[in-house]
Structures are given as C-alpha cells and as structure tokens.
Copies of this chain bind each other. A is one copy, B any other.
Amino acid sequence: MLNQDGSFNVDRRGLKYFEEKGIYHWLISMRWTRFVLLLFSGYVVINFIFACLYMIAGTNNLDGMKAVTFGGRFMEAFFFSSQTLTTVGYGRLNPAGMWSNIIAALESLAGLMTLALATGILYGRFSRPSAKILFSHNALISPYKDITALMFRIANQRSNQLIELEASISFSFLNKHDRSHREFRNLTLERSKINFFPTTWTIVHPIDDESPMRHFKANDFLDSEAEIIILLKAFDDTFSQTVYNRSSYRAEEIIFGAKFNIIFGQNDKGVVTVDLHRINEHEIIPLPEYS
C-alpha cells in the first residue's frame, strides 16, 4: 500500500485535479526540472501578453525604440516588458505615452507580486525539511531473550541532528477468514523513543504473548500479504521543525531467522565509527519455529 516515496497507493475518485492537490502543494512538490520549466515558460507567456498590450497602446508611446519592422518592434516591446517585470528598467526603452505608462506601472507591480510568489515557492522548496532515514533493506525475525523479536535497523542519512526520535509501527495483514478485509494492529516496541540519534537504532518488537504476530509462521506472513508500516517522528534541529518519515516492509522483505551484525568500530583517534554501507548486514540464525 505504501509507495517508495512514502505516499499511499490509493486511487481517490470524485475530485478534480487542483481540488485534490491545492496549487501550493502542486507547486512545492513537483519535480525541479518541471518547476524550472514552468517558471521559465510563465515568464515568456507573461512577457508575450504584455508585449501585445504595449503594441496595442502603440509603440510610438515607447521612447527609445530603434526597430522599424513590426517584428522588430514587437521584439523590443517583449524585452521592454521583461525589463519592467523584473524591475531592471534599463530605461533606453521607457514609457512616454499615458497608456504605456499605465501598463508599465501595473506590470511592475504585478511583476513584483508574481516574482515574490515565485521566489517564495522556490525558497519553500529549497528549505523544506525532510528527514532522510536509511532503513535496513530487510526486517529480521531474530532470537531475543527467551523468545523472538521483529527487528530492523535505521540510521540518519543526513548530518542534521534529529532529536526525540519516536517510532510507531503497525502490522497490517489480510483477515484469515475474509481476505477482502485488511486488519491493522499496533506493535509494541522494546523502546519507542530515543533522545538522540547520532548513529543507528535497531527498532525491536518482541513477539511475546501479546503480539499480534505470535501465531504467524513464515508462510502466514506471505499468505496474508502482511506489511510492517513504520512512522518515524523527530525534531530536526537544523530546520527547527518536526519531521516525519514513513516506510514499510512487505512479507517478502522479512528474513525469518537472522541477526544484525555490529557495524560500530573505533578509528585511530578513538572516535566511534559507524559504517552505513553495512546497515543491512546480518548473519543467518535458523529459527526452527518459523520454518
């Protein structure tokens, strides 16, 4: 159900495109190439429209024109518009007549407002907080004290300080008796919150007598199309904002009987090192009860 980018794979009908998206959301979440293209073509279109208006007002109202052909005069009007919109205003070309003055006065105001929105959105896109969490590729069922536990390992991919990191995990599976019905259960964690997150965190759900997984064999996970859905919440000290991160493990991504290797070390200067390349490294430990 959860897409790679953290959005949900659901088709919601009965909404128009912009009603669903919201223009701000659309502008702030579109891809960069598309955003730059949109900005650029909007700039061309607006200048084209104002160039037409200056032509209608009469180019003899624009002082300083040199071109004599219609095309040349339109071109000059177009560039005069761009100089007004961006408030560069070189001034060789300048409005002399009443109408061209009115159009230019409105264009410079409209230009300031539109470009303020554009720059605001540009900066909003740029400064959007996002926790980049590295997840181990697999979730493991590992021996844990006298029982077993579901475990996965995460690391902070950025050097942003994440503070008060909280995890909240759900277990979703198709009902055994009615496969059209998908159930959701919360999984209790050995520890659900850490104050600091400098290295890695292995999140552990002990499969005890209370666990909704207690009767699941390896086959049951696959048959019931089980999915582990993860919500992480933290305060990002760089952006001074709360950030969330979502991910999930499908049944095929669970390894039944394995243990994560330690990826800590110490360098020459005695500094703790952690090798994020090895975040998914684990060794197989057969668990007879899951075969």
Q: Any chain B CB within 8 A of the CB of A237?
A: yes
Interface size, chain A (Cβ < 8 Å): 103
Contact residues in B for A267 (Cβ distance below 8 Å): 11
Q: Dominant SS at the A interface? A: mixed
Partner of A161 from the list B7, B12, B104, B123 (CB cut-off 8 Å) is: B7
> How many Å lie between the Cα of A275 and that of B112 in the bound state?
42
Q: Mark A142-179, 1 if CB is under 8 A from B, else 0.
A: 00000000000001011111011000101000000000
Q: Which residues of the other chain, B, contact A120 by a CB distance below 8 angstroms?
A: 116, 119, 123, 126-127
Enumerate A55-110 residues with CB–CB distance to B below 8 Å. Answer: 63-64, 66, 75, 79, 82-84, 86-96, 98, 101, 104-105, 108-109
The answer to whether A274 touches B12, judged by C-beta atoms less than 8 angstroms apart, is yes
**Residues on B with beta carbons closer than 8 Å to the beta carbon of A90:** 89-91, 93-95
Tell me if A211 counts as interface (CB < 8 A to partner B): no
A157 touches B20 (CB 8 A): yes
- Hey, which chain B residues are within 8 Å of A111, CB to CB? 86
Q: With A and B bound together, what is the CA distance between A291 and B134 in angstroms?
A: 46
Give chain A interface residues in 1-55, CB to chain B under 8 Å: 1, 6-15, 19-25, 28-29, 39-40, 43, 47
Is A195 at the interface (CB under 8 A from chain B)?
yes
The one of B1, B23, B39, B276 in contact with A15, judged by C-beta atoms closer than 8 angstroms, is: B276
- Please name the residue on chain B nearest to A36 by beta carbon: B113
Residue of B115, B195, B238 touching A112 (CB-CB under 8 A): B115
- Residue interface bits A264-281, CB-to-B below 8 A is 1, else 0: 000100011111111000
| Chain B residues within an 8 Å CB radius of A158 | 20-22, 25
Residue in chain B with minimal CB distance to A17: B159
Instruction: Find out whether the CB atom of B6 lies under 8 angstroms from the CB atom of A161.
Output: yes
**Within 8 Å CB of A192, what residues of B?**
none
B29, B109, B127, B231: the one contacting A86 at CB < 8 Å is B109
A188 located at the interface, meaning its Cβ lies under 8 Å from any Cβ of chain B in the complex? no
Q: A25-B158, A157-B19, A235-B244 are in contact. Are A12 and B113 (CB under 8 A)?
A: no
From B25, B233, B246, A160 is in contact (CB under 8 Å) with: B25
A275 lies within 8 A of B195 (CB) = no
Determine whether A255 belongs to the interface, using a CB cutoff of 8 Å to chain B.
Answer: no
Cβ-defined contact, B108 with A274, below 8 A: no
